[in-house]
Every structure is written in structure tokens, then in C-alpha cells.
Amino acid sequence: DGGITQSPKYLFRKEGQNVTLSCEQNLNHDAMYWYRQDPGQGLRLIYYSQIVNDFQKGDIAEGYSVSREKKESFPLTVTSAQKNPTAFYLCASSQRGDLTGELFFGEGSRLTVL
């Protein structure tokens, strides 16, 4: 089945540690995105990538880094510079040129800083 797989689903981190969240898609989509959701809030865009080896900052990129070495993979690293990293992280993908522009989401990764 085609879809987006995020791992891990739950992650605990000590302050000062970097962590990497995985996002893999087998939908053959060109574009991939990372969103952050805080409790009771909407989603905010962290980074996005329209093609391999290229990515752009979203609204809240500070303290995060990404890479896009393969079309199907878009990992997100939450660095120690992110002051308040506890949140629910959602990865999404879409197909460039698709008239609907619809985003498809993974199941999410919940990060808690201890």
C-alpha cells in the first residue's frame, strides 16, 4: 500500500540532545513537508522540499534541519538549538503538477523533552 511512514511514533529526549525523525513515502511524490503541531493549535510549516537535493525554510525553521538526498526520504533533525521542541511532528507529501495540490500526511511523531 502507498503511504507515508513516520518513525518513531513516540520519542523522548533529554535537553541538549539532537534527535532525528524519519519520514519515508512510497507515493512517488516530488514534494515533502514537515509541520509542527502544539497542543490545541493548528499546524505550522517547518521545512519543505520540492525536489531532491533542494529544500526551503518554512515559518518556524530555527532549531531544525533537514536533508533530501532521496526522493522518498525527508528526515527532520531537531537540534539542541530548538528551545521548545516538545510537539507533534507531521510529515506530508504531494505531487508537483497535481491540480488538486492535496497533501497526504503520515501518522506523526510525538516528541517529548524531559
- Which residues sit at the interface with other proteins, rule CB under 8 A? 31, 33, 35, 40-45, 48, 58, 90, 94, 96, 98-108, 110
Residue 58 or 75 with smaller CB distance to other proteins: 58
d(CA 90, CA 94) in angstroms, rounded, equals 14
Compute how many other C-beta atoms are within 10 angstroms of the C-beta atom of residue 40. Answer: 5
Minimum gap (Å) between residue 9 Cβ and other proteins? 10
Minimum gap (Å) between residue 102 Cβ and other proteins? 5
Minimum gap (Å) between residue 108 Cβ and other proteins? 5
Minimum gap (Å) between residue 80 Cβ and other proteins? 27
Residue 62 or 81 with smaller CB distance to other proteins: 62
Confirm if 98 and 71 have CB atoms less than 8 A apart.
Answer: no
H or E element in which residue 94 lies = strand 87-94
Residue 61 or 80 with smaller CB distance to other proteins: 61
